[in-house]
Structure formats: structure tokens, C-alpha cells
Amino acid sequence: MRPRNNNFSQHILSVSATMLGFSFIVFTSVNDGDFLYPHLIDRFSAAAIVLFTISTLLSFLSLREKINHRAFEIIADYVFVAGILVICGSSLFMISHMKK
């Protein structure tokens, strides 16, 4: 097991917080776009918001907690990747379902 490295948790914290803000922007502005299924895109954005919120919280806890800090960091990493996959999926969905 590698020694504790707070730089990884700090990186997850800053990037997931940034992606959380990005997800909120998408969530609030999707109705202004010209999409076939805006409610489905809203659901993708809401899922990303939840995932990035959990990732941000867990990475923050991994910086603060003395016990299980590594477990919080690993879970935050996996939840962050899931959030990125949701964002990528919603982007592909939005591109492929724009009104013509």
C-alpha cells in the first residue's frame, strides 16, 4: 500500500468541484437549447450533479479523516469517473438528438 498522498485527494476535490459547477450550468441552460429530449438531458445533468457532489464530499473527507482516508479517496475516485462517464454520455446524447 502506498503512503498517504493528499495531493491526489486535493486534485479530485478541485476537479470534481469544477465539474459540479459545469453540471449545474448544463442543468440550468439545457432548456435554452434546441434538443428533442430536454427532460432526459436534465436527468443526465442531475445524475452528474449527484455524482460530483458525492465525489467532492468524499475527497474532502479523505483530507480530513484520520481513519479510512484511503477508502474515501478510492471511492471518490470511482464516483468521479462515473460522473465523467455520465457527462460524456449526455454530451453524445445531446449531439445525436439535436433538432435539425
- Assess contact for 15 and 80: CB atoms under 8 A: yes
What are the extents of the domains in the chain?
6-96
Total-model pTM:
0.78
Share of the chain above pLDDT 90, in %: 20
- How much is the pLDDT for 82? 95
**Residues 50-99: pLDDT tens digits?**
999 999 998 888 888 677 788 888 898 999 999 999 999 888 887 887 66
Tell me the backbone φ, ψ of residue 33, rounded to 5 degrees. -80, 175
Rounded to a whole number, what is the distance in angstroms from the first to the last CA of the chain?
Answer: 53
d(CA 54, CA 57): 5
d(CA 87, CA 78): 14
Q: Residue 87 has which C-alpha cell?
A: 457527462
**Residues 79-90: pLDDT tens digits?**
999 999 999 988
H/E element holding 2?
none
* pLDDT higher than threshold 70 for residue 1: no
